Amino acid sequence: MSMETFADIATRLCTACGMCCDGTMFQIVKMQPGDHPSELARLGMRIRHSHKESEYHMEQPCPALKGLRCTIYEKRPARCRLFHCQQLRLLETGGTTEEDAAALINKTRAQAAHVRELIEQCGLREDGQPLPERFERVMSTPVDEKLEPELAALREDLDNAMSGLRLALNREFRPPPLSE
Ligand code: SF4
Ligand code: SF4
């Protein structure tokens, strides 16, 4: 019988995913009491002040994510330590299997890759910003369907692809909002 723990399986799934660290799901990670923003900044994280006074957050995509692994694992902020997406929650309670979760991760990562590809085709090169921001930037520039029919068609594809991705992330990955 396998002696694998939930943590072993979660690590295997997360290191094939990274969507909660790479700017696909989140734009920022809020600092919590006990986190060390200045130490995280020294480690290369992009720490910023939030609009509200004395609140710090870490911008995503996270520079610590390399090859789908967190390279500051021992020093990662509280929200990273506590975060379990819906797939991990389901796995922990027996509501899904590793195989099913892995298949969903692959499918959703492919959707996100397709969105990134379409964003580039629409003329916005990779700029290290979170995916939703990049999408909004592309969609906010006007396009004349008659003058630029190909671009207009690409935009429509992008809009549909992003809707599909958002639906998948909301339905399968994003947990209910954290209370403040
Ligand atoms: S979205 Fe879920 S499976 Fe993917 S890296 Fe984050 S916690 Fe792991
Ligand atoms: S610190 Fe680690 S766990 Fe947190 S967002 Fe960055 S890569 Fe992900």
pLDDT (tens digit per residue) in 28-87: 999 999 999 999 999 999 999 876 667 899 999 999 999 999 999 999 999 999 999 999
40's tokens: 């995280």
Q: Which of 80, 112, 102, 83 is nearest to 175 (CA)?
A: 83
Please determine, for residue 179, whether its predicted confidence score (pLDDT) is greater than 90: no
Rounded CA gap, 153 and 159, in Å? 10
Ligand nearest to the CA of residue 80, numbered in listed order = 2
Q: Which of 104, 124, 113, 115 is nearest to 168 (CA)?
A: 104
Pick from 6, 87, 111 the residue to mutate for probing ligand 1's pocket: most ligand atoms within 8 Å of its CB.
87
Alpha carbon of 63 to ligand 2 centroid (Å):
8
Q: What pTM does this model have?
A: 0.92
Alpha carbon of 84 to ligand 1 centroid (Å):
7
Task: Give the model's pLDDT for residue 173.
Answer: 97
pLDDT per residue as tens digits for the range 3-31 = 799 999 999 999 999 999 999 999 999 99
Task: Give the model's pLDDT for residue 1.
Answer: 47
In ligand 2, the atom with minimum distance to the C-alpha of 18 is: 8
Ligand 1: residue whose CA is nearest its atom 3: 14
Ligand 1 contact via 85 beta carbon (within 6 Å): yes
94's tokens: 């027996």
pLDDT class of 99 with cuts at 50, 70, 90: very high
Ligand 1 contact via 47 beta carbon (within 6 Å): no
Task: Give the model's pLDDT for residue 3.
Answer: 79
